[in-house]
Amino acid sequence: MMISSVPKAIMKRRVQVVSLGSMALSSLFRMQEWQVVATFGRSFYCRDNRDNIICIGQAEIGQGPFTLLCSAGSFWPVNILANGSSLQFRKHQLLLEGDGVNFDLHGASVWRKSLSTINGSGEKLLSDITWIAGKALSDAPPQSLGMVISSFFPLNVHKLGRLSCSLNEALNTRFVEATSRVCHLPVLLPSGKLNPSFGEGLVRLIGLGPGLTPSGDDFLGGIVMGLYKADRQEEAASLADYFYRSARGRVSEISLNFYRALAEGLAAEPYYLFLEAIGREDSHELGSLLKRVGQLGGTSGWDTIAGIVFGISIALTDTNQISNCASEALC
């Protein structure tokens, strides 16, 4: 699907949008007034008065459910944007008021990738998450949840080395408590409903930690993705919906929109490609995508990776391919 062409307004500085996520498309055509709420070197976030979020970013950040991805080499208004700046959506163009910047959606494709299309076999998944756990000990930032991946299950991972963990003590304590409470529990009851003990054991991580999307939220999102990867779609969908409902009023509008995307079975392109690679047993491809995801945000990428591995480990534990999982952290 593409945004049809209509005559373009003549603007002094035009930025071509090459794709937009399905959530962004829906939000833009319902609301015309947007306000910048967070700015970064390669992207910025805007919200409407209903707390819907869009992310406008440069090509290298990748596509996503509520992302407007701009063409490589386009003018980037990094020195113009400020929190509180207003944008108007008019005739397939998003106009930055007062500065003559036009984000042009004409010809943009609509991106929608469902997590339900991703799955893998147990034995190959175990091989690759074992490899990821080993890489985490050397590559994950010491303040990220990536440092505790190898404690999720008894893998043959060399646990010596860089264990000078600087996780916030409160974060670490609550993280260990939450994961150890649920790692042996089924996600769903025999009736097909979400196991309340499983969901309630994890929601204490909602909003936990610093940052635009706190570590706890990234980790929970990763669990949902991991369950999808392990072909546990029903569990993943039920848990994502539960997290989304539980997060309302407890997290920022940006985190809430990530939860909403997961509840709709959607995730950003870097995670989607990373999930596809797990289980192929191609360490070169997986290593390249692991590096890309690990560079997202301060620690968001590695916090999400930790959740993905935990979600897969839950599924493999339930099928007796892993005998147990997290009971203690590495620090």
C-alpha–C-alpha distance, residues 79 and 159, integer Å: 44
Retrieve residue 87's tokens: 């944008």
Looking at residue 3, its pLDDT comes to: 54
Token pair 């706190």: residue: 214
Looking at residue 156, its pLDDT comes to: 47
Model confidence at 155, in pLDDT bands (50, 70, 90)? very low
Residue-wise pLDDT for 164-175, tens only, equals 455 666 677 778
Which residues, including other chains, have CB under 8 Å from residue 70's CB and lie 6 or more apart? 15, 16, 17, 18, 56, 57, 58, 59, 76, 103
Structure pTM?
0.89
C-alpha–C-alpha distance, residues 204 and 197, integer Å: 12
Residue-wise pLDDT for 234-275, tens only, equals 999 999 999 999 999 999 999 999 999 999 999 999 999 999
Tell me the β-bridge partners of 24: none
CATH of domain 13-111: 2.40.50
Query: What does the domain layout of the chain look like in residue ranges?
Result: 13-111, 115-318
Residue-wise pLDDT for 280-328, tens only, equals 999 999 999 999 999 998 899 999 999 999 999 988 876 555 555 444 4
